[in-house]
């Protein structure tokens, strides 16, 4: 028997281990499984459902909170995740992760091998605020007018040299194969890439550089260039996305640009300024880490499918 010490009449009662177990099991269910019209449950919601479902006659939210805290169960919290759906996820991801650790097909990259992570940041709006922003003061945040005037949008294409912390980029009004090839040409026309032994280009599966045709196009124009795709639905493996997140925080939030020209000028100036202080990202995620995550992510789904087929 378990004795509860939290305040409240029901909290001073004895709760059998079976009740504690069932309450924790309830907390680990999705609300929809019980036809509860909530997206997530608080400890008070769980206590109420435990009573309504007949698990116990009375229980407080404080008691539920204490039980769940003991096992670090927090059903009111959540985090987004991306389920691996590419049938060759492990194989494709392994190539990218190897390149980040300067390995290709089991061999260490040479001094004249380079890795470029590239992508597009699309639909960057130029929004001019209808009133001038007010600077911060002691005890007062910076104030930014909520209403704005739209001046259109553009896309920013960037290539990030993974091991040298170099940034190459350009702004365009429309993405596509032609725009991506402009970025590739911008990089490959410069040294050391022009005369490098190999230049690996890591990209996602966007329409501008999708599939085997994109690999063939790049190799045809630049014999020393090798296009490597991340798995489908796995742009988070592309290091340039880290650079884009920095751009978003430092330049585009809050968004206040009086024209597309102003927006483009600011982005390119930031690119040049950032490169002066940039260092290679400390990428510690390995193939072993990935395999461990895949086992944890895929195995429950396989068990669920097996149970469904058995039924």
pLDDT surpassing 80 at residue 179: yes
Q: Is residue 191 domain-shared with residue 56, that is, in the same domain? A: no
Contact call for residues 259 and 126 (beta carbons, < 8 A): yes
Last residue of a domain, one of 26, 41, 70: 70
pLDDT surpassing 50 at residue 68: yes
pLDDT surpassing 50 at residue 116: yes
Each residue of 226-239: pLDDT tens digit?
Answer: 999 999 988 889 99
R_g of the chain, CA atoms, integer Å: 27
311 within domain boundaries: no
Q: Is residue 115 domain-shared with residue 172, that is, in the same domain? A: yes
In total, the chain counts a number of residues equal to 311
pTM of the entire predicted model: 0.81
Q: Is residue 200 domain-shared with residue 237, that is, in the same domain? A: yes
33 within domain boundaries: yes
Q: What is the pLDDT of residue 13?
A: 62
Helix 17-27 × helix 61-70 angle, to 10° = 80
Q: What is the mean pLDDT of the chain?
A: 90
pLDDT band at 300 (very low <50, low <70, confident <90, very high): low
Q: Is residue 200 domain-shared with residue 55, that is, in the same domain? A: no
Over range 158-176, report the average pLDDT. 97
Over range 23-37, report the average pLDDT. 94
Q: Is residue 63 domain-shared with residue 100, that is, in the same domain? A: no
28 DSSP 8-state letter: T
Q: Is residue 24 domain-shared with residue 154, that is, in the same domain? A: no
Of 42-46, 129-133, 262-266, 294-298, which range is least confident? 294-298
Q: What is the CATH number of the domain that holds 107?
A: 3.30.420.10
pLDDT surpassing 70 at residue 258: yes
Q: Is residue 94 domain-shared with residue 167, that is, in the same domain? A: yes
Q: Is residue 127 domain-shared with residue 247, that is, in the same domain? A: yes
Domain that residue 16 falls in? 2-70
């Amino acid at each position: 028997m378990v004795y509860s010490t939290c305040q409240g009449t029901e909290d001073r009662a004895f709760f059998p281990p079976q009740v504690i177990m069932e309450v924790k099991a309830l907390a680990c269910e999705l609300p929809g499984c019980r036809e509860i019209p909530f997206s997530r449950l608080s400890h008070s919601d769980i206590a109420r459902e435990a009573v309504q479902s007949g698990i116990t006659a009375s229980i407080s939210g404080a008691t539920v909170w204490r039980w769940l805290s003991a096992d670090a169960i927090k059903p009111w919290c959540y985090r987004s995740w991306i389920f691996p759906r590419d049938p060759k996820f492990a194989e494709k991801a392994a190539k990218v992760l190897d390149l980040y650790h300067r390995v290709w097909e089991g061999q260490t990259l040479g001094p004249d091998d380079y890795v470029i992570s590239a992508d597009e940041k699309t639909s960057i709006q130029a929004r001019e605020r209808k009133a001038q922003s007010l600077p911060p003061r002691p005890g007062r945040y910076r104030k930014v007018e909520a209403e704005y005037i739209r001046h259109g949008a553009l896309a920013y294409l960037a290539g990030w040299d993974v091991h040298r912390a170099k940034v190459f980029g350009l702004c365009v009004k429309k993405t596509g194969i032609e725009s991506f090839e402009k970025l590739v040409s911008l990089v490959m026309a410069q040294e050391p890439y022009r005369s490098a032994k190999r230049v690996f280009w890591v990209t996602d599966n966007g329409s501008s550089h999708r599939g085997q045709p994109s690999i063939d196009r790049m190799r045809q124009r630049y014999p020393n260039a090798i296009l490597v795709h991340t798995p489908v639905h796995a742009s988070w493996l592309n290091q340039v996305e880290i650079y884009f997140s920095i751009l978003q925080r430092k330049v585009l939030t809050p968004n206040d640009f009086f024209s597309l020209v102003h927006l483009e000028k600011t982005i390119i100036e930031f690119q040049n300024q950032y490169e002066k202080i940039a260092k290679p990202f400390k990428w510690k995620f390995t193939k072993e880490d990935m395999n461990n995550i895949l086992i944890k992510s895929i195995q429950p789904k396989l068990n669920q499918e097996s149970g469904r087929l058995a039924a």
